[in-house]
Structure 1
């Protein structure tokens, strides 16, 4: 009987469940909206139950903040999220109690970073940002995650305000912070500034330069803090080719040749895994890692 590995990408908008074989090729995959916790988790359990006899392990990459400290009483919980009804939900506990399997738990962006590192042979130091409805980042250093008592929260660092935002007294859309990266550069900030949904804004609008200014600051921070081999920007905001160009240009201007970095066209990139599949690939590998750890 073939061995399978499970992946759950638990997003604030949708859950993506998949099982893959020993080569991390997808056997079956589904997605459904993130509604109430119990309804969404029930659908997740129902999907994985079909493969229970073959599953060796499951990895969960979740929106956050989450508790990833295995010694904590709230390990596996989604904690202080702004997502309605999802604060203090025992995500791992509610799913894992239905299975006799090892589980690996991390953030969705960590899962994506892990998947990207797998795809980029020889790369051991990488930062992955998702720029979408929210902003998060996962960092791989020498093939392991960066983090201590918890995961990093790179989306909520403070950034220097753009002159246009200063003039318009715009401090972002984050409910926790005035002037953080997520509040100023995630998708909702586009509509807050213009009154138009991001996908409907003309690509020549000056608002994209404002957005790129903040995302480039994130790239500078990642460069100075982690000295990665590559920075990957995923998520809906970065799906437009013109955004990648804008971010690269502003990054070069902001860094101002302070330290050497690879050619910007190879250093600041979009995902190598197609169809937003970085997290699924990463989770397959992490599920295998959990299974192997249990058998040691």
Structure 2
């Protein structure tokens, strides 16, 4: 394996993956449960420090769940903004982790990182040239979305917050939604906790032919259509426990995307939709490799 040794942290709502990689090849990774910021980040710092003592890192990439403050001029840069994740609002993700290593460090959302990795090494790299606009969605504990635009993660005033978009509901769907901020935003309709509230049991315990999946597929298709219409993304990749765990749901979503768009986008039809709306090519490694991509970019900027 060639290339400098880099460190990566993918911080999720239920687990944190800490890794070291040479180039894009992950040589070791450890999973740590996400509990409190002090306990979780402290365990990450201890591991990174031990690895760095064995062989120094050239850079650190942090791909974290959000919302995050990514404005480097802000006094709370790298901190967690108000979040439903208990105890994590205000946590200094970047400060704690970057202080552990005397090397350049970068932070972005986990979904922006995953989009970047997929654009370079996954679904976006399967054609003749890397995708110039790719969206990565994760549907699990929450719903997040990120973009790789011309080989750079997308953010401005903030980062994309696709999970809190309000979509047009399916006729007759009376589910109130489960988001503590907005009720029936898309996260409040189709995330793992939302499915449990909607169905009364976890989504993986519901039969594939249960008619209530039609409303879920409708809602996800509404989000996908919104993304395609507003960003002209070449691909929308759907990952996470809900996204990658039900191939039957993805098929329903594709059919509804085509139907809802009504032929307006000429590049989306029954023949092409399976290549546009699909699972990540990197599978569950898209997130960890996103942290690697962020670290490698820090080296390239030096």
Taking structure 1 as the reference length, what is the TM-score of the superposition? 0.94
1:264 to 266, 273, 285: 273
In structure 1, what is the equivalent of residue 247 of structure 2?
241
Query: Does the alignment pair 1:139 with 2:147?
Result: yes
In structure 2, what is the equivalent of residue 289 of structure 1?
297
Q: Is the 8 A contact 2:9 2:19 kept in 1?
A: yes
Deviations 1:81-110 (A, max 9, x none): 111111001111112122211111100110
Q: Is the 8 A contact 2:18 2:30 kept in 1?
A: yes
In structure 1, what is the equivalent of residue 157 of structure 2?
149
Deviation, 1:6, is: 1.3
Q: Is the 8 A contact 1:190 1:207 kept in 2?
A: no
In structure 2, what is the equivalent of residue 165 of structure 1?
173
In structure 1, what is the equivalent of residue 73 of structure 2?
71
CA distance in 1, matches of 2:172, 2:56: 55
Deviation, 1:165, is: 2.3
In structure 2, what is the equivalent of residue 39 of structure 1?
39
CA distance in 1, matches of 2:191, 2:233: 23
Deviations 1:14-48 (A, max 9, x none): 101111112x1111001111011111011101121
Unaligned runs of 5+ in 2: none
Q: Structure 1 residues 88, 256: CA separation in 2 closer, same or farther (over 3 Å shift)?
A: same
Query: Does the alignment pair 1:197 with 2:205?
Result: no
State how many pairs are aligned. 289
Q: 4+ residue runs of structure 1 moved beyond 6 angstroms?
A: none
Deviation, 1:2, is: 6.8
CA distance in 2, matches of 1:85, 1:292: 35
DSSP-derived class of the 2:189 partner? helix
1:251 to 257, 261, 264: 257
Query: Does the alignment pair 1:209 with 2:214?
Result: yes
Query: Does the alignment pair 1:188 with 2:193?
Result: yes
Q: Is the 8 A contact 1:12 1:34 kept in 2?
A: yes
Deviation, 1:228, is: 1.1
2:110 to 108, 128, 131: 108
Taking structure 2 as the reference length, what is the TM-score of the superposition? 0.92
In structure 2, what is the equivalent of residue 126 of structure 1?
134
Unaligned runs of 5+ in 1: none
Q: Is the 8 A contact 2:167 2:186 kept in 1?
A: yes
Q: Is the 8 A contact 1:261 1:267 kept in 2?
A: no
Deviations 1:103-158 (A, max 9, x none): 11100110110111012322121011111110010012211222212101010000
Deviation, 1:201, is: 1.1
Query: Does the alignment pair 1:56 with 2:58?
Result: yes
CA distance in 2, matches of 1:40, 1:211: 33
Q: Is the 8 A contact 1:3 1:54 kept in 2?
A: no
DSSP-derived class of the 1:89 partner? coil
Q: Which moved more, 1:100-109 or 1:186-195?
A: 186-195
Q: Is the 8 A contact 2:188 2:194 kept in 1?
A: yes
CA distance in 1, matches of 2:204, 2:49: 37
